[in-house]
Amino acid sequence: MQQSIDPSIRLRRAIHANDALLVKRVLKSHPHLLHNPDHSLTGNANSNLHLAASLGHLAICKLLVELGHEADTPALNDDHQTALMLAAAAGQTDVVNFLCQEDPSSILRQDLRGRDAIMEAALHGHDTVLQILLTYAPGGAPAALARADVDGNTALHFASSNGNLLVMRTLLAAGADAGRKNAWSWTAEAYSATVQAEVYLKQLIADMGGKRKAEMGKTGGAVRLVGQEVGD
């Protein structure tokens, strides 16, 4: 006689297979498995939503949220990471967009290391994901980018340390502080993964500074032009 598979395992297999209909059927029969944290040696107590979000299975994520997975507060794994953090780290654009719309406040939640979803996107070089997170971040992008982990590292530190050039450009354009130092007094520039990344970041900083000076001088320049015209 064939032994039946434990419902919790069957549910996780259905999520891996991106079978939303099977997930719905299993949860209808076993509603207590809505969160179903994975307590195996490598599971890190990830919930159903953690797993679906990391895999980019949007239909399953929507189903789980609709059934109340995040009703009270975002589910956390053993590292206090949200499903949004895992989706951001994996570059799952559609899932990140959905979760941001459902609960923008989760963007600023921090794990045990003090990292948030924005830092995860910057660390792994997912520029589109980063732009979505900054768009929905409560309080605006500059305030979100001023946050740091337990070691004082900002999103710009993480982007620089991994040589994520496009992400660095996005962060600086959104208001990241290039002069911000971490707990060891290192700036993002000092954390550059390669010489190329360091040179690129220096050029970005110089370009941003030049643009700001140009904007500040626009009014003054206009006045001087008028004076020249009057003098002529």
Query: For the residues 124-130, what does the mean pLDDT come to?
Result: 98
> By mean pLDDT, which of 33-37, 83-87, 185-189, 196-200 is the weakest?
196-200
Assigned domain for 3 exists: yes
Domain of 51, in residue numbers: 1-71
Residue 205 has pLDDT above 90, yes or no: no
Assigned domain for 44 exists: yes
pTM value is 0.88
Residue 3 has pLDDT above 80, yes or no: no
> How many domains are contained in the chain?
1
What is the SS3 assignment for the chain?
CCCCCCHHHHHHHHHHCCCHHHHHHHHHHCHHHCCCCCCCCCCCCCCHHHHHHHHCCHHHHHHHHHCCCCCCCCCCCCCCCCHHHHHHHHCCHHHHHHHHHHCHHHHHCCCCCCCCHHHHHHHHCCHHHHHHHHHHCCCCHHHHHCCCCCCCCCHHHHHHHCCCHHHHHHHHHCCCCCCCCCCCCCCCHHHCCCHHHHHHHHHHHHHHHHHHHHHHHHHHHHHHHHHHHHHC
Is pLDDT larger for residue 77 or for residue 205? 77
- pLDDT score, position 221: 44
Assigned domain for 223 exists: no
Assigned domain for 28 exists: yes
Residue 123 has pLDDT above 80, yes or no: yes
Assigned domain for 9 exists: yes
Kindly report, residue by residue over 68-90, the tens digit of the pLDDT: 999 989 999 999 999 999 999 99
Query: For the residues 49-69, what does the mean pLDDT come to?
Result: 98
Kindly report, residue by residue over 145-155, the tens digit of the pLDDT: 999 999 999 99
- pLDDT score, position 209: 66
Assigned domain for 13 exists: yes
Residue 65 has pLDDT above 90, yes or no: yes
Query: For the residues 191-213, what does the mean pLDDT come to?
Result: 79
Residue 211 has pLDDT above 50, yes or no: yes
- pLDDT score, position 112: 98
Is pLDDT larger for residue 202 or for residue 115? 115
What percent of the chain has a predicted confidence (pLDDT) above 70? 88
Q: How confident is the prediction for the chain on average, in pLDDT?
A: 90
Assigned domain for 58 exists: yes
Query: For the residues 202-226, what does the mean pLDDT come to?
Result: 59
Query: For the residues 134-149, what does the mean pLDDT come to?
Result: 97
